[in-house]
Structure 1
Amino acid sequence: MINRQKTISKMLIELPDNVTLVAEKLDYLDCQKKEICKNITAYETYKVMTSNQPEWLRMLFNLRDVLVKPAGVRAIQGFTNLDEDKYKSGQINTVHFFTITEDTADKLTLIVKDSHLDVCVCVRITENTSNPTKNLLYLVASVKNHNFWGAFVYVARFSTSSVYCP
């Protein structure tokens, strides 16, 4: 656990400025970085990333929704049903199953909280100093578990990627 926390601390140092995390003390942190074109917003990059959901992921979201229904947990329907018109008009502050907490041209922060865990996805765009014709896109996911079930979900889902700290 100490090594994992050290790894998270090192990752935090490498993140760009103005990234939002779900909590100060994290149980999981992942950061992906990619060079992108200059004329795209953080919200537009999110739409591109979620527009082509693989069939296996759609099936997993459907299975999740079926399994949690008897417990009274709401269905999230994965990355379907993006209500673009309501978003553009300002009628809603949600996208898919996330609540939008920050939405600027260079930053989109999405949060979902429940009794088991809190998840934050921060899409951050920065200037690319090594290639001024491009920007850098950072996709940062952070998780804070509240109990065994939150930890179980993330150990099962992310045991082979990034850093998980129970």
Structure 2
Amino acid sequence: MPITSPAHTLRALLELDYYHIRSVQLPVEITMLDAWNIATAEPGLAMRLAFRIRDAISSLFGVRRIGGFSGVARKTVHAGEHLDFFLVEHSASNILVLTERDRHLDVMICLSITDRVLTITSSVVTHNLYGRIYMLPVGLAHKVIVSSHLRRLKRSLEGQ
């Protein structure tokens, strides 16, 4: 039987300007918030530098600085709160729906766990030229970031 994901996206797939999905088999059962805490625990120098560059350039176009991942572990999270720069739109033991919206683009990251398979589904809708240009490098970087987070998570869980 195929594994299905409860993934959420901003719109139907054909209406998205960016879509990326990546999954990893987890060696043990954990909650979605545990997965988030482990994956974002240590942002690393390259990640911190990437967010500084992003903030410096984007702020010239009226986009607020987001600062990146704090590495601060959360014990609970509820809809309406923030996980770093993301607004939590939905939170359950097996799913987190996170968004970041501004005048240039809307981003939704849906993290879900089904049968010990963690899936990260990312969707973006751009609103203007800056949003489209922004997504050229960020779309590529996003794939590297997600892969890195999933590898870190799996290694951490295998080491326990």
Q: Give yes or no for the alignment of 1:77 onto 2:58.
A: no
1:36: Cα distance to partner? 0.7
Q: Give yes or no for the alignment of 1:53 onto 2:34.
A: no
1:63: Cα distance to partner? 2.2
The whole-number CA distance in structure 1 between the counterparts of 2:16 and 2:61 is 27
Q: Give yes or no for the alignment of 1:154 onto 2:142.
A: no
Listed one character per residue, the Cα deviations across residues 134-166 of structure 1 (whole Å, up to 9, x for unaligned) are x1111111111111111111112225887xxxx
Match of 1:26 in 2: 16
Instruction: Mark the CA change 1:77 to 1:109 in structure 2 (over 3 Å): closer, same or farther.
Output: same
Q: Aligned residues, how many? A: 140
1:15: Cα distance to partner? 8.4
1:123 to 84, 104, 111: 111
Matches within 5 A, 1:32-111: 32-80=22-70, 82=72, 84=74, 88=76, 93-111=81-99
1:125: Cα distance to partner? 0.5
1:70: Cα distance to partner? 5.0
Q: Residue 64 of structure 1: SS of its match in structure 2?
A: helix
The whole-number CA distance in structure 2 between the counterparts of 1:138 and 1:102 is 16
Unpaired runs of 5+ residues, structure 2, are 144-160
Runs of 4 or more above 2 Å deviation: 14-18, 63-74, 81-84, 87-92, 156-162
Larger Rg, first or second structure (1 or 2):
1
| Contact kept in structure 2, 1:22 and 1:143, CA below 8 Å | yes
| Contact kept in structure 2, 1:22 and 1:111, CA below 8 Å | no
Q: Give yes or no for the alignment of 1:145 onto 2:103.
A: no
The whole-number CA distance in structure 1 between the counterparts of 2:16 and 2:3 is 14
The whole-number CA distance in structure 2 between the counterparts of 1:159 and 1:88 is 31
* CA RMSD, Structure 1 to Structure 2 (Å): 2.7
Instruction: Mark the CA change 1:120 to 1:106 in structure 2 (over 3 Å): closer, same or farther.
Output: same
The whole-number CA distance in structure 2 between the counterparts of 1:97 and 1:53 is 14
TM-score (norm 1): 0.72
Q: Residue 24 of structure 2: SS of its match in structure 1?
A: strand
| Contact kept in structure 1, 2:37 and 2:73, CA below 8 Å | no
Instruction: Mark the CA change 1:152 to 1:89 in structure 2 (over 3 Å): closer, same or farther.
Output: closer
TM-score (norm 2): 0.75
| Contact kept in structure 1, 2:19 and 2:121, CA below 8 Å | yes
